[in-house]
Amino acid sequence: MVTHMKHTAEFLVFGATGQQGGAVARALKERGGRVRAFVRDADSTRSRALAAEGISLAIGDLFDPASIDRAMAGIAGVFSVQTSSPAGEITDAQEVWQGKAIADSALRQGIQHLVYSSGGAAGKGPTDMGHFDSKSEIEAYVTALPIASTITRPASFMEMLLLPGMGLPQGEFSFFMKPDQSMQMIAVRDLGRMNAEILLAPDRYAGKVIELAGAAITGKDLERAFTRAAGRPIAYRRFPEAVLAANPFLHRLTELLDTGLLAGAADISALERQFGPMISLDDWLGGPGKSLFSAALNHENAQIALR
Ligand SMILES: NC(=O)c1ccc[n+]([C@@H]2O[C@H](COP(=O)([O-])OP(=O)(O)OC[C@H]3O[C@@H](n4cnc5c(N)ncnc54)[C@H](OP(=O)(O)O)[C@@H]3O)[C@@H](O)[C@H]2O)c1
């Protein structure tokens, strides 16, 4: 029998002012969960928005373990996520340090269940990409601790598609896939929904590693869906060789897609049976991604910003 956390249980969500944590916190709230968000600045616009939605705030910093311990008091389940080096704020070693600090605190504080949000490329051997290998290291650390934990590995976010610099204002779109090559992706909203379900049913999910994705998307799918959403032709191509040659980071990501590692390992049908229907690319473009798409389409001075 599946045991759901009692409705009085409170969940601590890291990164709640960001994409993943924000989606998890809101999905928990929608399901009647009590949520505490770990935030650095209670006065930021995003922290205030969380508070206005009935989410309580615990002030702290991931570099301050005492503040993590304080935030965990009385908590049943924890959602752990860290930023990574491509965002430019921390090194890979610091990401590992923060991921371990949360896990250590969860153990000290007797937390019932820790959900660590990793990444789709983790746990499959070395990748030579620091922000993927960092996640493999945190995963190994978390699973070795004597604490109930679940590892979730999200595919690339659909939101990533609309970073500036992919060519949309010029009527084209460049990304990692060859036109016929497919890559699993996920809408951040689905990621939030699934992690919330996992937090609410620890007995069902503890001890598991779950690859999360909502759709397998080819370059041609992007061309069709973007053309439809824009109401004018958007031609798809893989990043040109000159761009890849000048950017070792993008180049390595493309290689990892070609070897299959970044193509995604989620069983999307099984996820849909377990968690309900996933948001398709078209539905995402017409819903949660609509304003992002419009902004990307109309961006005048787009630069390559993906790192
Ligand atoms: N993008 C993708 O397609 C993808 C796919 C799979 C996995 N990932 C992984 O997802 C992770 C990033 O998640 P995200 O996109 O949700 O991040 P995000 O939107 O950039 O948000 C980062 C969050 O972390 C908080 N934070 C940063 N430093 C902190 C500190 N020292 N103490 C406390 N809180 C801190 C931020 O709070 P403030 O409001 O205070 O800044 C913010 O809430 C990365 O590890 C990345 O590799 C990304």
- Report how far residue 179's alpha carbon sits from residue 184's, in angstroms, rounded to the nearest whole number: 14
Identify the residue whose C-alpha is closest to ligand 1 atom 40. Answer: 40
Pocket lining: 140 vs ligand 1, CB cutoff 6 Å: no
Closest among 193, 70, 201 to 148, alpha carbons compared: 201
Q: Residue 140: which residues within 8 A CB-CB, separation 6 or more?
A: none
Q: Name the pLDDT band for 3 (thresholds 50, 70, 90).
A: low
Find the 78 Cα to ligand 1 centroid distance in Å.
Answer: 15
Whole-number percent of the chain with pLDDT over 90: 93
Pocket lining: 20 vs ligand 1, CB cutoff 6 Å: yes
Q: Of all atoms in ligand 1, which is nearest to the CA of residue 41?
A: 40
- Residue 57 phi/psi, 5-degree rounding, is -115, 135
- Report how far residue 38's alpha carbon sits from residue 59's, in angstroms, rounded to the nearest whole number: 6
- End-to-end CA gap in the chain: 45
pLDDT tens across 115-154, in order? 999 999 999 999 999 999 999 999 999 999 999 999 999 9
- What is the pTM (predicted TM-score) of this model? 0.96
> Per-residue pLDDT averaged across 2-13, rounded?
77
Find the 83 Cα to ligand 1 centroid distance in Å.
Answer: 4
Pocket test for ligand 1, best of 57, 62, 68, 83 (most atoms within 8 A of CB): 83
> Per-residue pLDDT averaged across 63-81, rounded?
98
Identify the residue whose C-alpha is closest to ligand 1 atom 25. Answer: 15
Q: For 13-22, 219-228, 291-300, which range has the lowest pLDDT when averaged over its residues?
A: 291-300
Pocket lining: 134 vs ligand 1, CB cutoff 6 Å: no
Pocket lining: 99 vs ligand 1, CB cutoff 6 Å: no
Q: Are 261 and 127 in contact (CB under 8 A)?
A: yes
Pocket lining: 15 vs ligand 1, CB cutoff 6 Å: yes
Q: For 67-71, 241-245, 269-273, 303-307, which range has the lowest pLDDT when averaged over its residues?
A: 303-307
Q: Of all atoms in ligand 1, which is nearest to the CA of residue 95?
A: 45
Q: Are 13 and 38 in contact (CB under 8 A)?
A: yes
**Res. 56: pLDDT tops 80:** yes
Q: How many CB atoms lie within 10 A of CB 135?
A: 28
Q: Are 161 and 184 in contact (CB under 8 A)?
A: no
Q: Of all atoms in ligand 1, which is nearest to the CA of residue 61?
A: 32
What pLDDT score was predicted for residue 151? Answer: 98
CA angle 284, 127, 304 (to 5 degrees): 50
Find the 96 Cα to ligand 1 centroid distance in Å.
Answer: 13
* Total length of the chain: 307
**Res. 305: pLDDT tops 60:** no
| Beta strands across the sheet bearing 215-218 | 156-157, 182-186, 215-218
Q: Are 215 and 280 in contact (CB under 8 A)?
A: yes
Find the 82 Cα to ligand 1 centroid distance in Å.
Answer: 5
Pocket lining: 83 vs ligand 1, CB cutoff 6 Å: yes
What pLDDT score was predicted for residue 262? Answer: 94
What pLDDT score was predicted for residue 302? Answer: 41
pLDDT tens across 151-189, in order? 999 999 999 999 988 999 999 999 999 999 999 999 999
Pocket lining: 81 vs ligand 1, CB cutoff 6 Å: yes
What pLDDT score was predicted for residue 165? Answer: 85
Q: Are 226 and 163 in contact (CB under 8 A)?
A: no
**Res. 304: pLDDT tops 60:** no
What pLDDT score was predicted for residue 299? Answer: 81
